A and B are shown apart, each in its own frame.
Chain A
Amino acid sequence: MSSIASEPILDRAADVPPPPRSFIAQVMGQAFIRWSARIGAIWIALVAFCAAFAPFIANSEPFILKSRGTLSFPLFRGLHPVDIVLPVATIVGTIVLARRKMQFFASLCLVLWACALTAAASCWPSTADYLKQMQSLFGQSAAIVLLVCFWTGLAAVIVLAPIFISRRSTLITGLCLLPLLIWLMIYPVRPPKTVVYEKYRDLARAGQVDYALYAILPYSPSDRLRDMGDSAFLPPSATHPMGTEYAGADVLSRMIYACRIALAIGLISTGIARLIGVLVGGLMGYFAGTLDILGMRLIEIFEAIPTLFLLITFVAFYGRNLYAMMVIIGITGWTSTARFIRAEFLKLRKQDFVQAAIAAGLPLRSVLFRHMLPNGVTPVLVTTSFGIAAAILYESTLSFLGLGLIDEPSWGQMLNQARGVGASFVWWIAIYPGMAIFLTVLAYNLIGEALRDAIDPHLTKA
């Protein structure tokens, strides 16, 4: 009967099935064989590392301080929940990725919960602040009602969910969403802002420090070095490897913290764009016909919006807001994705395996996003890496024009500050952030190009 199932001769050890490699994993593998893509990835990883661990790399406050016999940990006291969540997410995420054994959603769930729990733990000392801030945000009674409802509700959900939710997918989605909710409630908590950095240096100068362990770069980005007299516009030296800016803050330290905005703006805005693009493009391609025509007109309308001018107009009317910037870049940048996905889906919907999936009675959600999307998503990887680069450039442009954030450093904003006293040119504030922008954009483009080449033969083969 089964003469065609001629088995290759296997040795006994190979009885265990090898870990399967998905199509996307294959494409990734092929793309990152290239040295250019690898260099790009290494640079991005470096930026990501700096972003995640910034407060531990560059900080004016010492890790450990022993002064007049008392031991304290000033650096940890001043950390924002974000500062703790980012490294935890990075470490847990890397471990999960490296082990490669877990399912995607299970690992996502794990990372999110690790973040939420560490964030909650990090807020514990400042519970009093938390209550105060919630009050100032929502008003006293509303804050109390909100808090009581939220935290008891949360506890109830966590306890009851496994009992009532029988479908595995619902449970996992819930488990992923809960930490995000917790995070949202924790977000208003801020550490005490009145840090006077020079007090440690004063202590040191007064000889009252028995022992202190500083970060590699003992300067915070907002550390204006007021105590050091004439410290503005110092050229690069051993103490300040990239010099100082107009207020005397260390440029390298600001560069490191600016990685955060560069990464966040790129990832979040393209994330929004991809989400809209995949949804709209997928529906257009799958249903074709009238919906397709309407969608195409919508795409054309959005393509006609000049993103940069919209951003400038928005900032002019509503003030500087990083999140609004991300949203604007996101909702104007989805059109290319939608076009790609539409084209892919138009092709895919006629393919036999999609027909077979529909014929098996699978619901639309599964047909669209489980069966069609993974087969058509690879071009989106390409647009994503180019999109991230574009988003970083938008933010830099805006900041360079002086319309970006003020309280947090970004590379574009530093470029703006390279205009020294009396419009002179301060080369070290221009060169380094300029190089960083250039390298990051280049890195994303290198990765995008490698991905594009990697998916080409696959598309014709499959």
Chain B
Amino acid sequence: MQPPLLEINKLSIGFDTPRGPIQPVREVSLSIFPGQTLAVVGESGCGKSVTALSILRLIPQPPGRFLGGQVFLEGRDLLKLPEKQMRQVRGHQIAMIFQEPMTSLNPVYTIGEQIVEAVTLHQHVTRTQAYKIAEKALHDVGIADPRRRLFEYPHQMSGGMRQRVMIAMALSCQPKLLIADEPTTALDVTIQAQILELLQRLQRETGMAIILITHDLGVVAENADVVAVMYASRVVEFAKVEDLFDHPQHPYTQGLLRSVPRLGDTATRLQTIAGTVPNPAQFPAGCKFHPRCPSMQGDMTCATIEPDLREIRPGHWVACHHAQGYSQSPITTPHLDYTHTVPMDLITNRIEPTPAKERTP
């Protein structure tokens, strides 16, 4: 079995805010294999972006602080790398694209100059060659007339085009892992679909892994191989995409899935999860979800002891005292069929989050 490309092990991050210290990421463990797409979902403020930024050590320090844990990229702990080697990782091995294509490009330089700077930094090529690479990268992401576009400024392009440019820039150095933090949230629906399709195609062509951060469960179903659900700074459920959609184990995941409209659903109103996300400055004791949890039913363990992430089935991890496990045979109800595009073999072969203890750095 192939080793994981990236493995996050009990990562905790703190922020010193004026209202006291908070922990936007607590003991988060994730792993992703080459060629896989890992989706990270969760409500706003649950720590998805902070987790993504911490992989590249882009957390602003201060106010941010690494409180513990490791981030292994092919066995190397990124959190221990000296800054100089970290720069080799950034852009070259792990690339990142951001939510806002309108502000992710430097307004002062042409598209070409920006791509070329990154290319010449990581590859030993002349500027002329770098311009060729940049032109090809723009062509690969489906930008018409790439040669002319190279000499244009970001403000001369639409949002969708800029996101394509960002992807071109990220991929021009052939990274092994692409972190996409809500890459389509700022775009309109048709362009969203195009960008995601583009990412899938590029993934097939290059074999890179993708961490896709999103709010959109439809996007998760269509694009992801594995899913991590985050709630209140923690990963509460981690599973193959079809396991998660067919057998959601954590009450929060179940609530999330119920709050999405489904094909063939006859209910007239969408369900919501009662209550609000807890303030990170004052999380409740015990399970962070228990004040909103429908299946708690007055259980005092939930209110006092925080459940650990445990493996209830091979490859299916849940942090809930009440999670029981389920029978192997998938109960495919027609209206739960989100996963028609995900190649099954890819998922079953590769999912394997290693428990934290097994790893020695």
Quick one: which of A322-364 are within 8 Å of B by CB? 349-353, 355-363
B229 at the interface (CB under 8 A from A): no
Residues of chain B lying within 8 A (CB to CB) of residue A3: 194
Complex: how many Å from CA A266 to CA B170? 45
Residues of chain B lying within 8 A (CB to CB) of residue A1: 142, 194, 198
Which size class do B's interface residues fall under? 35 or more
- Identify the interface centre among A1, A289, A361: most chain B CB within 10 Å of its CB: A361
A229 at the interface (CB under 8 A from B): no
Instruction: Judge whether A360 and B143 touch: CB under 8 Å.
Output: no
Instruction: Judge whether B108 and A22 touch: CB under 8 Å.
Output: yes
Instruction: Judge whether B106 and A375 touch: CB under 8 Å.
Output: yes
Within the complex, what minimum Cβ distance (angstroms) separates B287 from chain A?
33
Partner of B104, one of A349, A350, A356: A356
B340 at the interface (CB under 8 A from A): no
Residues of chain A lying within 8 A (CB to CB) of residue B106: 353, 357, 371, 375
Within the complex, what minimum Cβ distance (angstroms) separates B57 from chain A?
9
A23 at the interface (CB under 8 A from B): yes
Quick one: which of B161-201 are within 8 Å of A by CB? 161, 166, 169-170, 190-191, 194, 198
- Known A-B contacts A350-B60, A352-B100; the reply to A360 vs B121 at CB < 8 A is yes
Residues of chain A lying within 8 A (CB to CB) of residue B121: 360-363
A13 at the interface (CB under 8 A from B): no
Complex: how many Å from CA A214 to CA B117? 55
Partner of A361, one of B118, B142, B144, B166: B118
Closest residue of chain A to B144 (Cβ to Cβ) is A5
Partner of A359, one of B88, B96, B198: B96
Instruction: Judge whether A353 and B158 touch: CB under 8 Å.
Output: no
Quick one: which of A65-111 are within 8 Å of B by CB? none
Complex: how many Å from CA A288 to CA B61? 9
Instruction: Judge whether B98 and A361 touch: CB under 8 Å.
Output: no
Instruction: Judge whether A363 and B117 touch: CB under 8 Å.
Output: no
B56 at the interface (CB under 8 A from A): yes
Complex: how many Å from CA A351 to CA B105? 10
A20 at the interface (CB under 8 A from B): yes
Within the complex, what minimum Cβ distance (angstroms) separates A455 from chain B?
13
A421 at the interface (CB under 8 A from B): no
Closest residue of chain B to A354 (Cβ to Cβ) is B106
Partner of A366, one of B58, B90, B98, B117: B117
B210 at the interface (CB under 8 A from A): no
Residues of chain A lying within 8 A (CB to CB) of residue B206: none
- Known A-B contacts A20-B110, A359-B95, A362-B121; the reply to A2 vs B90 at CB < 8 A is no
B89 at the interface (CB under 8 A from A): yes
Complex: how many Å from CA A357 to CA B103? 12
Within the complex, what minimum Cβ distance (angstroms) separates A17 from chain B?
4
Complex: how many Å from CA A2 to CA B148? 16
Give per-residue flags for B132-168: 1 if the beta carbon is below 8 A from chain A beta carbons, else 0. 0000000000111100100111000010110000100
B107 at the interface (CB under 8 A from A): yes
Within the complex, what minimum Cβ distance (angstroms) separates B130 from chain A?
12
Partner of B166, one of A2, A20, A356, A363: A356
Instruction: Judge whether A360 and B60 touch: CB under 8 Å.
Output: no
Give per-residue flags for A1-15: 1 if the beta carbon is below 8 A from chain B beta carbons, else 0. 111110100000001
Closest residue of chain A to B197 (Cβ to Cβ) is A1
A160 at the interface (CB under 8 A from B): no
Quick one: which of B42-82 are within 8 Å of A by CB? 53, 56, 58, 60-62
Instruction: Judge whether B145 and A7 touch: CB under 8 Å.
Output: yes
Name B residues whose Cβ lies closer than 8 Å to a Cβ of A: 53, 56, 58, 60-62, 87-92, 95-100, 103-108, 110, 117-118, 121-122, 127, 142-145, 148, 151-153, 158, 160-161, 166, 169-170, 190-191, 194, 198
Question: Can you spell out 19 A-B residue pairs with CB atoms less than 8 angstroms apart?
Answer: A4-B158, A4-B160, A17-B152, A22-B108, A23-B108, A288-B60, A350-B60, A352-B100, A352-B103, A353-B103, A353-B106, A355-B53, A359-B96, A360-B95, A360-B118, A360-B121, A362-B118, A362-B121, A375-B107
